[in-house]
Amino acid sequence: MLSNADLKEIEKYLTANLEKYLDILHQMVEINSFTSNAAGVNQLGDLTATIFSRLGFEPTFVPSTQPNFGRHLFMERRASSNLATDAVPTLALISHLDTVFSLEEEQNHQFRWRREGNRVYGPGTIDIKGGTVMMLIVLEVLYHFKPDLFNSVNWQLCFNASEEVLSFDFSEGCRQKLPQDTLACLIFEAGNIDADQFKLVVARKGRAYFKVKTFGRSAHSGNNHHLGANAIVQLAMLIPEIASFTDYQNSITYNVGTVRGGSVVNRVPHYAEAEVEMRAFAPDIFDKGVERMMALVNKSTIQSQDGFPCKIEVDVLEKSKPWPSNPATQGLFNLWQDTAARLGMRVVAEERGGLSDGNFLWQYFPTLDGLGPAGDNAHCSESDPQSGKEQEYVSIRSFIPKALINIAAIERFLSQG
């Protein structure tokens, strides 16, 4: 483990170089990398590749399977050639390039780099460009202060071009590039801070996305109302039932997010649809929740006077399994928690409702998330303090202590083999 003298020197180095790292973050934030802005995502990917190449990382850009998205970035730095191949560990650090903010949204809300006291506001400051800078800090410190250890590892850096829309091709790319015995996948999403303790993510909810469609029969609403089977009414009967599936005790929620139907008011509507999102932590509860939605096809209750029934269809548009609590993640968390305690700091485990790349990697490699700096208001571009709206920001003072925990924990992890 790093000695107290080592840690003091590292802290001194980080303090002296913090402005350099904030300047790199500034450059990243100035680039609009909205998922659908492929040119901006690629520009950020180029900048990221340039920055990490100074440490000897070699980039590979992989086109997304979605033609309107940018390129995924994979960077590798192989261990020194004089080491025995079978003794060289692989460690993967994960981030992403895209944000949820379009250029128009940034302009309309005057959402740009803004430094106020301990905070830096701006698109991606916490989700996740600050996390990418944290990766750089950790690697540069190990490169300068522990060169033998740094050179004994096969480092893999993986940057998703479309994480905000859950691109499954990225996780497949990771699994192709990472050997089966990869020690861990460390994910640098925001690590929220609560009072005097950092939160590390050890589990995430899974997400299923459904489209519920009801089919009825049209009729003139004045002349033949009795011959119509109203698809909107049928859908309206289903919506309270779907909402009732939410069970906070078992951490499963359903959200009816959109509803559409009908065309004109003098016509009994023949079609309506709703989009529904379900989230749950436990895999068995998740699976049962999906089954419950699919069973709605048998819940038709609306029919015309002559017996024409409405029909119900439920389509699963997307399904991302939960990342539940598991021994491999817990082992990593225990190491980080113990390391923080030795440094006089605290970290606690958090089970988070949002998804990350960890949902798709934890089954294959030990995975820990939330290793980025602290901040708040991720995905928020509006600023109206009177109404309680505030823009996304990163805490400047969180960088150095969080970096010290990450550096010391990774050093221990690698030294223990």
61: β partners = 73
Quick: pLDDT tens for 298-346: 999 999 999 999 999 999 999 999 999 999 999 999 999 999 999 999 9
Q: Do 311 and 288 belong to one domain?
A: yes
CATH number assigned to the domain comprising residue 215: 3.30.70.360
Return the structure tokens found at 63.
């086109």
Amino acid at 249: Q
Q: Do 316 and 293 belong to one domain?
A: yes
Domain range for 369 is 4-204+322-416
For residue 384, what pLDDT is reported?
A: 86
Among 255, 287, 320, identify where a domain stops: 320
Quick: pLDDT tens for 1-52: 789 999 999 999 999 999 999 999 999 999 999 999 999 999 999 999 999 9
pTM as predicted? 0.92
Helix (DSSP H) and strand (DSSP E) numbers for the chain: 11, 19
Chain Cα centroid distance, residue 289: 22
- CB–CB of 198/403 below 8 Å? no
Distances 156 to 83, 159, 169 between C-alpha atoms, Å = 17, 10, 17
> How many domains, in total, are found in the chain?
2
Phi then psi for residue 119, to 5 deg, are: -115, 145
Return the structure tokens found at 365.
């490699």
Beta strand residue intervals within 51-204, DSSP E: 58-62, 72-77, 90-96, 114-116, 119-121, 154-160, 184-187, 193-194, 197-204
Distances 6 to 142, 144, 146, 259, 399 between C-alpha atoms, Å = 11, 11, 10, 59, 18
Left (φ > 0), alpha (ψ -120 to 50) or beta: where does 36 sit? alpha
Q: Do 73 and 92 belong to one domain?
A: yes
Q: Do 257 and 313 belong to one domain?
A: yes
Distances 16 to 9, 22, 51, 140, 285 between C-alpha atoms, Å = 11, 12, 19, 14, 49
**Over 90: is that where the pLDDT of 146 sits?**
yes
